[in-house]
Structure 1
Amino acid sequence: MKLLLASRNAKKLGELRRIVLAEELTGVEVLGLADVPEFPEAPETDPTFEGNALAKARDAFAATGLPSVADDSGIAVDALNGMPGVLSARWSGRHGDDRANLDLVLGQLRDVPDDRRGAAFVCTAALVAEGVEVVVRGEWPGTILRAPRGVNGFGYDPIFRPEGHDVSAAELEPGEKDALSHRGRALRLLVPHLRSL
């Protein structure tokens, strides 16, 4: 079975492929948007992770006919009232500028004491196929560090320390991160539904 991940992010694609392997979903070939003919992608305008993920998965399935998975994810910082949230990728005003985004969050938290720097990575993943629409949510609690650490991962990983760990998410090996992360948690919740396709 061909399964489309409605993303152009190579790191997300790699993560889903590793999870498919780890869960022994035999006969599943994970494709990305670069592997299918281009189609119009609606902008992410929903105020919720769930709404954005479902819209992307519906668009991908409608355009390709392939079972499609899409996610919307970001970081919710307690001291920022849950923001950047769905605006995480464009928090600095430039979509996908990871360094500017995390620098802005660090600046906004500069005077916030360590015991009030709680945060959680959130990922909502949607699966849309013939007669199927499933939306799941994974969360990864932790705290925001005072400076970036590590070179693995992407986005806010260098400033996020997962609960129960002394390292940033960017200091974890990919396999370790898959086992712990918000995206890994959400994608594993989709596995039973993928098995039934």
Structure 2
Amino acid sequence: MKLVLASGNRGKLREFREAFGSQLASVSELMDPIEVEENAESFAGNALLKARAIYNRLGSEYLVIADDSGISVPLLGGAPGIYSARYAGEGADDKANLRKLIDELKKREVERTPAYYTAAIAIVGEKGEYVVHGWMHGDVIDEARGEKGFGYDPIFIPEGYDRTLGELDESIKSEISHRAKAIKLARPLIEMLRK
């Protein structure tokens, strides 16, 4: 059973290959990109939409992994949530999304408030569909600090730390991140499904 990641994102591919090795192929190595409309109301739903679409194209000799993730700020009613990648509008880049979140905090005159990252990993194959979740809790702040990571990392301070993900070493992030936690749960499931 061949293992495929339903993402062309290099950062995600690197994280998943660290867990599953070089036997994990990126979907872009196997087929032309397809547009999957992520219109579910949850991270799990969107991850399943992506995994199903790729599995339906590739066929039953593949086990497809897809993830959907983002950051939620309770003060903002859970925003950006499932809209994390397009918080500042369709086609917005990481910097625009980050700026919008900082602006929303400043509007409320808040320098620091609780937030959490969610990662949902969907696994779709001939034996069924499965989803696991990982979370990372902490706070967001109203100024970007650090050049590491991507997305909202420069304003997120994980619980138990005093620096943002943008300032922390990659080795720490790979231990505590929402995606790392979800991958840890997905690994035994994937091993079982590949037998």
How far apart in 2 are the matches of 1:43 and 1:128? 17
Shift of 1:41: 3.1
Shift of 1:158: 0.8
- The aligned counterpart of 1:122 is 118
Matched, 1:18 2:18: yes
| 122-131 or 32-41, larger mean C-alpha shift | 32-41
Q: Deviations over 1:54-112 (max 9, x none)?
A: 11111111111321100111100011011100101000013351001011000100134
Matches within 5 A, 1:54-133: 54-65=48-59, 66-110=62-106, 111-114=108-111, 117-133=113-129
How far apart in 2 are the matches of 1:31 and 1:170? 28
- The aligned counterpart of 1:29 is 23
**Is the 1:45–1:52 contact (alpha carbons within 8 Å) kept by the matching residues of 2?**
yes
TM-score (norm 2): 0.91
**Structure 1 pair 112–20 and aligned structure 2 pair: CA distance change class (3 A):** farther
**Is the 1:41–1:59 contact (alpha carbons within 8 Å) kept by the matching residues of 2?**
no
The two structures, once aligned, show a CA RMSD in angstroms of 1.6
How far apart in 2 are the matches of 1:142 and 1:87? 19
How far apart in 2 are the matches of 1:95 and 1:188? 31
How far apart in 2 are the matches of 1:94 and 1:62? 26
How far apart in 2 are the matches of 1:48 and 1:123? 11
1:53 to 47, 51, 59: 47
**Is the 2:110–2:142 contact (alpha carbons within 8 Å) kept by the matching residues of 1?**
no
Q: Deviations over 1:10-60 (max 9, x none)?
A: 001101111225xxxxxx611112211115332101111111001111111
How far apart in 2 are the matches of 1:162 and 1:19? 22
Q: Which runs of 5+ in 2 are unaligned?
A: none
Q: Which runs of 5+ in 1 are unaligned?
A: 22-27
Shift of 1:3: 1.3
Matches within 5 A, 1:154-173: 154-173=150-169
- The aligned counterpart of 1:25 is none
- The aligned counterpart of 2:38 is 44
TM-score (norm 1): 0.90
Query: Structure 1 residue runs of 4+, over 4 Å off?
Result: none
**Is the 1:158–1:170 contact (alpha carbons within 8 Å) kept by the matching residues of 2?**
yes
